[in-house]
Structure 1
Amino acid sequence: MLVYVVDDDSVSRRAIGMTVQRLGYSVKYFSSGLSLIEEEYLEPGCILLDLCMPDASGNDVLEALYDRHCPLPVVIITGLSDIGAVVRAMKLGALDVLIKPLQTDALASAIQQSSVMLKRNARRHDVAEQAERRLQCLTPRERDVLSGLAKGLPNKTIGYDLGISSRTVEIHRAHLMAKLDVHSLSELLRIVYDAESDGARGTNV
């Protein structure tokens, strides 16, 4: 697995990278938060992110990654005891926070947790992709009806919102269920929820 080490302190950056390599992982270095943000593509891996950097703090980077729907796990590394910043990092989605100087066992554990999260995210992404492919067979109107069903709306309300009769809603519902080869509302909704389960993509049902 690839581990990104993002730290403006060259000595700290290199020391952390050497430890990561001794643990058996590949390393890619970034000397600033902005350089990581500006990277167009980040291959699957774990991000070790310094909390205190001059151009963009760790939390600034976390916000940017969140806005990009980046699925990579982030472990904050810090030498500060700023509880407020640490709490904010966790709220922004950081997997863990490690205090400098980093303990090898703690670092190994954090990277292992990141690996587990990556695998879980990959499985969720695959499920979402499969569900979305199934939904591609639906017409725009069938998608509209399905959206109403996913919101728990009755046929009459869906029909009113779409300007069609309840009977027409029933026909669309029957058609989309046949196309998706499902036999109950719960099966139908499972496809919708699976398609929406991938935070990086989602679906506009």
Structure 2
Amino acid sequence: MITRHVYIVDDDDGLRQSVEVLLDVAGGFITSSFASGEAFLDAAPRAEGGCVLLDLNMPGLNGLEVLRRLQTMDGRFETILLTGQGDIGVAVEAMKSGAIDFIEKPYDNRLLLNALENGFARIEDREKEVSAIQLARENIEKLTPRERDVLLGLIDGKANKIIAYELDISPRTVEIYRANLMDKLGVRSVAEAVRIAFASGLVPVFPE
């Protein structure tokens, strides 16, 4: 389970406090509050990833401007816009700028908690994907250059005899390399080895 950091960015002191109380009662969240978009953006580069509850209408930078600046960062945040306008056009613009949801004020507790659940689910899926890619790269790094050559041949759908001919080795040696690489990758089939090769970036998805 990831640590659930929630950043409340709103110039309304009462709203920030009410959200903090709600999340404290719900449990499992670590909250940080900011009275302006500028204050949050100053802290964001050093902050842990998490969900941002972002007010649309604030003095200085408004919610959409803050959202657009967040999109230029490293993707650690999922943003939910808080708006009191009930303006669908603003909501659409927010979604285009990277918000995952919008909630009208005064907010409904259930809707806000559901939006946060969705946001953290997205973060968790992204972190799992990053971990899987890292693991695949670490496994590929275990292979010797010859084992990689054999793996690339298997990915191209070549038979052992063809790989042996192209690498100027015996088919039996190819079989040994093949067994070794599958053991190092922790797989039982060529299909699984191929998936790891693509996940690691050994084989580009869109070759040049």
1:70 and 1:42, CA in 2 relative to 1: closer, same or farther beyond 3 A?
A: farther
Matched, 1:101 2:103: no
Matches of 1:31 and 1:81, distance apart in 2: 22
Instruction: Tell me what 1:122 maps to.
Output: 127
| Alignment match, 2:37 | 33
Query: What is the CA-CA distance between 1:104 and the residue it aligns to?
Result: 1.0
Residue of structure 2 aligned with 1:16, choices 16, 19, 34: 19
User: CA shift at 1:135, angstroms?
Assistant: 5.6
Partner of 2:160: none
Residue aligning to 1:71: 76
- TM-score, reference length from structure 1: 0.65
Residue 112 of structure 1 pairs with residue 152 of structure 2:
no
Query: Number of paired residues?
Result: 180
Unaligned runs of 5+ in 1: 139-166, 169-173, 197-204
Q: TM-score, normalised by structure 2?
A: 0.65
Aligned counterparts of 1:56 and 1:188: Cα–Cα separation in 2: 49
Match of 1:56 among 57, 61, 68: 61
* Contact preservation (8 Å) 1:71, 1:121: no
Kindly provide the amino acid, as one letter, of the partner of residue 100 in structure 1: K
Q: Which residue of 2 aligns with 1:145?
A: none
Q: CA–CA distance in 2 between the matches of 1:7 and 1:70? A: 21
Alignment of 1:91-170 (within 5 A): 91-134=96-139
Shift of 1:2: 2.4
Matches of 2:141 and 2:40, distance apart in 1: 35
Identity, % of aligned positions: 30
Superposed CA deviations along residues 47-80 of structure 1, whole A, max 9, x for unmatched, are: 1111222222222222222211223221111111
Partners of 1:2 and 1:111 lie apart in 2 by 10
Judged with a 3 Å threshold, the aligned counterparts in structure 2 of structure 1 residues 124 and 19 are, in CA distance, closer, same or farther, namely same
CA distance in 2 between counterparts of 1:191 and 1:77 reads 41
Q: CA RMSD in A?
A: 3.9
Displacement of 1:121 in angstroms is 1.6
Question: Looking at CA atoms only, which structure, 1 or 2, has the larger radius of gyration?
Answer: 2
Equivalent residue number for residue 4 of structure 1: 7
Q: Distance in 1 between matches of 2:72 and 2:84?
A: 26
Q: Distance in 1 between matches of 2:106 and 2:26?
A: 16
